[in-house]
Amino acid sequence: MTGATVGSINLGRQVPLGLTKQRPPSRFTRLFSLEYLVMGGAIVALFVLVVLPLCFLLIGSIWGENGFTLEYFTEAFSGRLYVQALLNSLILGAWTGLFSLLLGLPLAWAVARTNIPGKPLITLTANLSYLSPPFLTAIAFVNLFGPNAGLINAFSRDVLGLPWLGFNIFSMSGLVLVTVLHTFPYVYLLASSALQSVDASYEEAAQILGASKWRTALLITTPLVMPAILSGVLLAFVNAIALFGSQAIIGLPGRIVTLPTRIYSLFDYPPQYGLASALSLLFVFITIAALYLQRAYLAKRSFVTLGGKGARPQLMDLGWAKWPLFGFCLLVFFIAIVLPYMTLIAVSLSKSWGLAFWKGLTFEHYRFVLFDYDVTQRAIRNSLGLATVAATVAVFLGAIIGWIDIRTHLPGRKFLDYAALVPLGLPGIVMAVALIQFWLSMPIALYGTLAILLLAYVGRYIPLGVRAANTSLRQIDPTLEESARILGASWGHTLKEITLPLMRPGLFAGWLLVFVPVIQELSASILLFSSSSMTLAVAIYNLYETGYTEPVAALAMINMAIIVVAIALARKIAGDGIGRESDKNLTTQGGTA
């Protein structure tokens, strides 16, 4: 072979640069490569975080002092307390699902398909409602509609003299109201994105064949978006029944005990681990069943997006009818955002909450919670630290697990993917019970430390990390990595130089998606915290339990400020386009708070 020189490159080299002759490596040596060590580490982590705790939960529910027993399950299915809790949870979920639909769908349709004014306001309402910690909304509404001290109730009773006008928030309807304000965004976001992605040509095709606008909406559009709507309702259901905070704050005073609050009460001395495990499994079964249905519905959605890039939804001119619809949207904005936040601000600034709260406004409560109440600063530090570490770990693990699932043919990778999704069906309190069962039987004392909280957060939110990684990996053509390999880059070098930089926007969205719920996590933390591992949400809940109405509101506002600052910072660091992607992920997954 004669080497021809072209330009300054000698292209006819006979020995490739920097490459030595060698035989194929054996399987044995491959097992110890970086690639397999990292992947193995991720798999082990997933087992420790999710699989083993769940196994211990299962064992704990059927293993009594004298070996195998079904007594816990018998008790869970026959004890009046437990059956009632189950019923209450289902009733709450059903009503919440229904009202989320009634609230979310009109808003989604208005934004996606009509010429209604004020669309940014509606989007803002949905996003803020999703981001607000549900227990804050609950506390705000208690301040307004508590049977005795609630401001509005007091006003109608003492000033108007019309006590029947009052509304007792400590009731199932009160609980549904507070919960819906947090869950309707699921229906809204799924429905509006589906409505927006239906290609207008489907509808135009129906119209050219002679169908009227309403007929088209009924016969073409509705069936296309129905899977997305149903899927949103199921997500609302699953999230509603998992919210510990509002169920404790609203439900317990009204003697409405639900599954999370019943499980919580089983940890009063003496703790009944077996029964708690059995109830937790029952709880898991309900959420998994609902999520399974949700996925099945969502899978059908694929034909909506088939429309491709050219989706130009038709906007319907509502004429005068847009004003009542706009009024409805304003009302939702007022009840979901203005009312709770104005209330919290007013309470936090008032000397003492009551009809004459505006006399003597003060910052005293902020000073108190920030400087005098010794828990706050520790709680803020813990929550910020935990959220940062948990989000980073969840996203990194997610990236590796997503990579294994999408890029390798490793046997059992589908199992990994499922295992990483299971926590979606685990309400926070169940995760906590599982972790307690697991780590109490381990020789390492983790209970009450920050470490167990971190495990709980990473375990619960790893699905969001995996999903974020999967979404962005799917958008990266594998040949981009393959071309690095054939140029001589090792697995690790390719990951560092090509894969991770290309995944960065998606991973950042995932990071934010984990960070925000962790900052406000209450359901799992409430069982796992100790005074040294106090978190912000637990601090607020404890303060509320102790009856400090005004300082609670101040702390709640501080919590909200931290969330807003964190999101703003993250967006600034990651650049634009993050919000959109996180919204999309949120709609298809939805972490339970």
Residues lying near other proteins in the complex (CB under 8 A)? 1-4, 6-14, 16-19, 21-27, 30, 477, 479-480, 482-490, 493, 497-498, 501-502
Q: How far is the CB of 31 from other proteins (least distance, A)?
A: 12
How many whole angstroms from its chain centre is CA 374? 30
Distance of alpha carbon 129 from alpha carbon 593, whole angstroms: 12
Distance of alpha carbon 178 from alpha carbon 172, whole angstroms: 10
Tokens of 361: 């406004």
- Measured CA distances, 443 to 57, 274, 438, 446, 447 (Å): 17, 20, 10, 9, 11
User: Which is closer to other proteins, CB of 9 or CB of 209?
Assistant: 9
Q: How far is the CB of 495 from other proteins (least distance, A)?
A: 13
Q: How far is the CB of 36 from other proteins (least distance, A)?
A: 12
Q: How far is the CB of 416 from other proteins (least distance, A)?
A: 17
Question: Helix, strand or coil for residue 301?
Answer: coil
Q: How far is the CB of 289 from other proteins (least distance, A)?
A: 27
Element (H, E) at 124: helix 119-131
Tokens of 386: 């935990």
Residue 416: CB partners within 8 Å, gap ≥ 6?
43, 46, 401, 404, 405
Under DSSP, the state recorded for 116 is: -
Identify which of 170, 178, 315 has the alpha carbon closest to the alpha carbon of residue 257: 170
Q: What share of the chain is helix, strand, coil (3-state, %, to 5)?
A: 75, 0, 25
CB atoms within 10 A of CB 273: 18
Q: How far is the CB of 394 from other proteins (least distance, A)?
A: 24
User: Which is closer to other proteins, CB of 5 or CB of 148?
Assistant: 5
β-pair partners for 326: none
Distance of alpha carbon 306 from alpha carbon 197, whole angstroms: 9
Q: How far is the CB of 410 from other proteins (least distance, A)?
A: 13
User: Which is closer to other proteins, CB of 71 or CB of 497?
Assistant: 497
Q: How far is the CB of 16 from other proteins (least distance, A)?
A: 3
Distance of alpha carbon 244 from alpha carbon 425, whole angstroms: 15
User: Which is closer to other proteins, CB of 7 or CB of 443?
Assistant: 7
